[in-house]
């Protein structure tokens, strides 16, 4: 029995539906945990899982024990985290401010560190608490991820910066958010079978979207059909099916910039 941990977000439940429901050739036994991305990062950092969705921001810290799989990543263009606030704020305005983040180990937090050169006061909270906290004035701004990018205006919030747009302009790379890793001490054949099955699972989901939608709805924080569909359309793309050389180059660039920032 192998331990798998993924997020309850629509892109993960969409991608993994076929694998978890016997729709692929994979016949390994899995014990599956659904958790917030920062909890997933912690599980991987502590070595508690065999296969795991993690933030690319934390991958350098675990790559000696985990290898990155080709399938299952969230990476692309126009899909980066946003900084939102009750009123418009410039880059200079954000310096030194209390900004809610969805976890210190998330890629979103790393991108904000790079954008502001670390000059802000991070306030950690679960991602779905950030918009209410920001709207209530508990923090000066909030760093939002996942489906929150489609609903922040409902909280009376404005976009201060799109960190994905900033990253794309700075680097020319797609923005690397998160990926699937496997323990390096697993049988390589088992890891390859899992990776291939995840690719097949993604293909199955695209061909059976109505069937998959019921599973997504069970787990999604935002259960509106339109929000789920927009989420999947944005975060499940060609890079999800296979990182390729361009995807891996973006991940390496992020790691290099993080290393320089942190000295």
Range of the domain at 163: 82-171
Residue 221, pLDDT score: 62
**164 and 205 together in one domain:** no
Percent of the chain scoring above 90 in pLDDT: 75
**163 and 201 together in one domain:** no
Residue 220, pLDDT score: 78
CA atoms within 13 A on the CB side of 218: 10
Residue 153, pLDDT score: 83
Number of structural domains in the chain: 2
Question: Any idea which residues carry the catalytic annotation?
Answer: 146
Ligand-binding annotation for 107, yes or no, is yes
Confidence class of residue 127 from pLDDT cuts 50, 70 and 90? confident
Express each pLDDT in 200-257 by its tens digit: 999 999 999 889 998 988 887 666 788 888 888 889 999 999 999 999 999 999 999 9
263 pLDDT more than 80: no
Smallest Cα–Cα separation from 234: which of 85, 86, 109, 79?
79
**108 and 234 together in one domain:** no
Express each pLDDT in 151-195 by its tens digit: 888 889 999 999 999 999 999 999 999 999 999 999 999 999 999
Last residue of a domain, one of 118, 137, 171: 171
Express each pLDDT in 95-118 by its tens digit: 999 999 998 999 999 999 999 999
Quickly list DSSP for 177-229: EEEEEEETTS-HHHHHHHHHHHHHHHHHHHH-HHHHHHHHHHH-SS--HHHHH
Residue 205, pLDDT score: 96
Q: For the domain that residue 256 is a member of, what is the CATH number?
A: 3.40.190.10
Ligand-binding annotation for 201, yes or no, is no
**65 and 184 together in one domain:** yes
Ligand-binding annotation for 55, yes or no, is yes
**92 and 120 together in one domain:** yes
Smallest Cα–Cα separation from 167: which of 97, 60, 83?
83
């Amino acid at each position: 029995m192998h331990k798998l941990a993924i997020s309850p977000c629509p892109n993960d439940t969409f991608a993994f539906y076929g694998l978890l429901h016997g729709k692929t050739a994979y016949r390994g036994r899995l014990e599956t945990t659904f958790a917030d991305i920062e909890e997933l990062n912690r599980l991987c950092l502590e070595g508690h899982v065999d296969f795991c969705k993690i933030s690319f921001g934390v991958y350098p810290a675990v790559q000696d024990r985990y290898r990155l799989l080709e399938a299952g990543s969230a990476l692309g263009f126009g899909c980066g985290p946003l900084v939102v606030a009750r009123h418009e704020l410039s880059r200079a305005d954000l310096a030194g401010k209390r900004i809610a983040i969805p976890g210190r180990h998330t890629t979103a937090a790393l991108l904000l560190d790079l954008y502001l050169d670390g000059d802000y006061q991070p306030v950690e909270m679960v991602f779905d608490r950030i918009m209410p906290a920001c709207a209530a004035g508990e923090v000066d701004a909030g760093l939002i991820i996942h489906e929150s990018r489609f609903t922040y205006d409902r909280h009376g919030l404005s976009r201060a910066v799109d960190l994905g747009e900033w990253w794309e302009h700075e680097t020319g790379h797609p923005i690397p958010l998160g990926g699937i890793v496997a323990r390096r001490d697993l049988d390589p054949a088992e890891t390859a079978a899992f990776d291939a099955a995840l690719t097949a699972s993604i293909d199955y989901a695209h061909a059976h979207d109505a069937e998959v939608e019921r599973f997504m709805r069970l787990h999604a924080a935002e259960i509106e059909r339109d929000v789920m569909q927009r989420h999947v359309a944005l975060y499940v793309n060609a890079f999800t099916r296979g990182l390729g050389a361009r995807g891996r180059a973006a991940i390496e660039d992020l790691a290099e910039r993080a290393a320089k920032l942190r000295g």
